[in-house]
Structure 1
């Protein structure tokens, strides 16, 4: 696929590789986010690249030595009984070279699965060969294993890394650029495929979003039909619990008590699995604006990954029909609810774009939702943010409709806001974030104003 953005990541990698001493770079992130494509954009012809798999260690060493032979002829002629002998010979051979060599090991966790001693072996060679001419770049999709291999204090490689780079999903404006669509369409596309470049590449093969959803997701032979199982395979030991949690949250249960009740479990039993899903970027914990995350009991959980959200909201409840080949019927069933999905994703986009940005001539801190329990006022505000100088408060309503009575919505918003006690004596900015608007008002923001 065409390489979009990642300029910052490329610059960091290239700058680190230019250092006089040998370096260790750790690159990780969830599958499909473009780690391998990123490496292709910094790879040089005389570098070594090896993609590990789940084969036994003896075969892996043989395959790796053959990859090294592409740059160092004859290297694979030797039989390497263990990893120490392979790295020792590599360091000895490289000593006679004038230039440093970059050594990329992709899917490094697969090697560690069959050879748990490998991180210690690599650590020993890094420590003993301070004048080495080898830059090591280890890459992995298993975020949990990459943490245990290189980022945890107990890991042999802890503290040896010169650069630790987490490759995150991409922002909506890059999807807009890739698909060459307008800002409104980009919200709809982003609601289904999120920020994962590989999904965008697959999507581009189809003329319309509807066709892509039907062929890629709602078809039992679709490429993305079993995608979560592939994503969770290396991260989560018990898939069924993650599958159940995501299904329950996607169907509208957002409070811990509701989730626990539906799973017939005590809430305390869900702490670890929920935390794991948050660490992996699949769900997010939300608290109301103004609350302290350490002390508040007002917590909601939502699915953070847009594709996973779509999958568990629409595919999982209709899987029986999809297995029978009733893709068109399933799509007709979900079609009318898609604008509600788009509205929720538009809310998330708005909060992210407002956070840390300047809007209405004011710099804003982190934007979030605000809600009161039904026992109190029961009000809900889609977006609130405090200015960096703490003098102003932004209060916004988010809508995703073809036609919105902006005057009426603005009045309703102001009326709701009067019930919020801590906005008194503050400069309050009221704003509507709409799908589209014919009214010319600087306090009405549309996708074209935020996604460009």
Structure 2
């Protein structure tokens, strides 16, 4: 087995599955390109009794034809024709498993949601296969995988029929953290300073498939030029393929994403309805849930507010970058990105993108603050009274009587707190304390790239300083 970068928790789960004396039904899900298939294939060294992957946008006949082809690659007694339905297919699979001499019988069904075509009875056949055979066949390790996270949760993991509580292990595969991204690049002999890595992460996120496009000897700006703006750049045309491969009628999902890309702080449900013109009902709730489960957006409940006051925020770095710079851009070739670095659009985006990176590394922030062992609740806050729209993008409400207010600032040097900015920070904290009526002590933490420049305005105002290295911890 080749060395896997990161994924320690997931490898531990798969190791327990592999060593289990019982049959196991494992569901692996996560957004497209995040490395689900790679994880399973590498961990088991592709030693499967049977492997099948679903195909997008084709009917049952074609899926069963693919089953037939795959089946005959794993048996000495090939099928004479493709199964007529999924019940026949799973019955053939049962015989294949029983005839196998492998001590551990790993069956890997990839892109499971694509196999479940309309009126195919795929789920019913899978249910019968597992309940009548798989669950009691101890050597069997059934691994199923899917990019449509909402389908995996609703149709499989939360199934209310015959597959209820049948999944024995689940793996929700997330994008790489900054630490894992650094290790991934190092394994490719790509050596970059962390400031450069953060710039790349702000565009691609921790998606291994995207990061694999990076070649050694390139700066972050060159990487972004090549991958996002060159004629054959992977991310130049990835956006629509990404959403249409995951969602039916993806135009509604992309309308929500586009609306959220217009406001960094996020939008309420009512604001989203107004911007997208999608009816405010059960379907809209489902669209939001699907986007959130798939990791594209996040729902934040503001401090001391109820769920109905929640804000929805676009958290997928690539989707945000696409709408800010790639969509409608005529720029191609070398230096396209370099020519944008001094623009006001870039400065606004880089600030928000860095905040988004920080918000996806809250565990690292808590570790740097020394509060990993303290129960906390993270939220945002927006003033209801101030005329200048005072807001806090991250506050950490701690069980020990402290609220840590985090200010996140992206800079290519030490960040300088001026007299004016110090006054703004004090006003923000005073406004928050007054409006929230909190009796807790407020601490201000500055999360910056290279730290805060020491001066009279920072002294006594900033309790904690976090830098890039803390986000990589």
Query: Is this a same-fold pair by TM over 0.5?
Result: yes
Alignment partner, residue 77 of structure 2 = 74
Residue 117, structure 1, aligned to residue 127, structure 2: no
Alignment partner, residue 344 of structure 1 = 352
Per the TM alignment, residue 201 of structure 1 is displaced from its structure 2 partner at its CA by: 0.6
Alpha-carbon RMSD = 3.3
CA distance in 2, matches of 1:329, 1:78: 54
Alignment partner, residue 442 of structure 2 = 428
- How big is each residue's C-alpha offset from its partner over 1:395-439, in whole Å with a ceiling of 9 and x where there is no partner? 232222234324745554234312222476433322222221364
Alignment partner, residue 17 of structure 1 = 18
SS at match of 2:52: strand
Give the TM-score of the pair, scaled to structure 2: 0.82
SS at match of 1:161: coil
1:176 and 1:182 in contact (8 A); partners too: no
1:358 and 1:364 in contact (8 A); partners too: no
How has the CA–CA distance of structure 1 residues 328 and 238 changed in structure 2, closer, same or farther, with 3 Å as cutoff?
farther
2:60 and 2:120 in contact (8 A); partners too: no
Alignment partner, residue 188 of structure 2 = none
CA distance in 1, matches of 2:89, 2:278: 50
SS at match of 1:396: strand
CA distance in 1, matches of 2:369, 2:225: 41
2:382 and 2:390 in contact (8 A); partners too: yes
Alignment of 1:38-77 (within 5 A): 38-44=39-45, 45=47, 47-54=49-56, 57-58=60-61, 60-76=63-79
Residue 282, structure 1, aligned to residue 287, structure 2: no
2:67 and 2:89 in contact (8 A); partners too: no
- How big is each residue's C-alpha offset from its partner over 1:354-411, in whole Å with a ceiling of 9 and x where there is no partner? 458344444361333322035577422343212233x112123222223432474555
How has the CA–CA distance of structure 1 residues 360 and 94 changed in structure 2, closer, same or farther, with 3 Å as cutoff?
closer
Q: Which runs of 5+ in 1 are unaligned?
A: none
Alignment partner, residue 304 of structure 2 = 291
Alignment partner, residue 459 of structure 2 = none
Q: Which runs of 5+ in 2 are unaligned?
A: 186-190, 455-461
Per the TM alignment, residue 37 of structure 1 is displaced from its structure 2 partner at its CA by: 0.8
SS at match of 1:404: coil
CA distance in 1, matches of 2:276, 2:126: 44
Alignment partner, residue 136 of structure 2 = 131
1:354 and 1:364 in contact (8 A); partners too: no
2:394 and 2:407 in contact (8 A); partners too: yes
SS at match of 2:213: helix
Alignment of 1:345-424 (within 5 A): 345-355=353-363, 357-362=366-371, 363=374, 365-375=376-386, 378-389=389-400, 391-401=401-411, 402-406=413-417, 408=419, 409-410=421-422, 412-419=424-431, 420-421=433-434, 422=436
CA distance in 2, matches of 1:302, 1:279: 13
Match of 1:332 among 339, 342, 365: 339
How has the CA–CA distance of structure 1 residues 399 and 265 changed in structure 2, closer, same or farther, with 3 Å as cutoff?
same
CA distance in 2, matches of 1:2, 1:249: 38
- How big is each residue's C-alpha offset from its partner over 1:307-360, in whole Å with a ceiling of 9 and x where there is no partner? 1110112222x34x25xx588567634653334323223323434444583444
- How big is each residue's C-alpha offset from its partner over 1:104-153, in whole Å with a ceiling of 9 and x where there is no partner? 11122222216721221121122222432432211112223323431343
SS at match of 1:224: helix
CA distance in 1, matches of 2:224, 2:386: 41
1:187 and 1:342 in contact (8 A); partners too: no
Alignment partner, residue 91 of structure 2 = 88
Match of 2:228 among 210, 217, 220: 217
Match of 1:172 among 169, 174, 178: 178
Per the TM alignment, residue 38 of structure 1 is displaced from its structure 2 partner at its CA by: 0.3
CA distance in 2, matches of 1:433, 1:206: 29
Q: Is the deviation greater in 34-43 or in 146-155? A: 146-155
1:372 and 1:380 in contact (8 A); partners too: yes
CA distance in 1, matches of 2:249, 2:260: 18
CA distance in 2, matches of 1:327, 1:428: 47
1:53 and 1:107 in contact (8 A); partners too: yes
CA distance in 2, matches of 1:376, 1:189: 36
SS at match of 2:339: helix
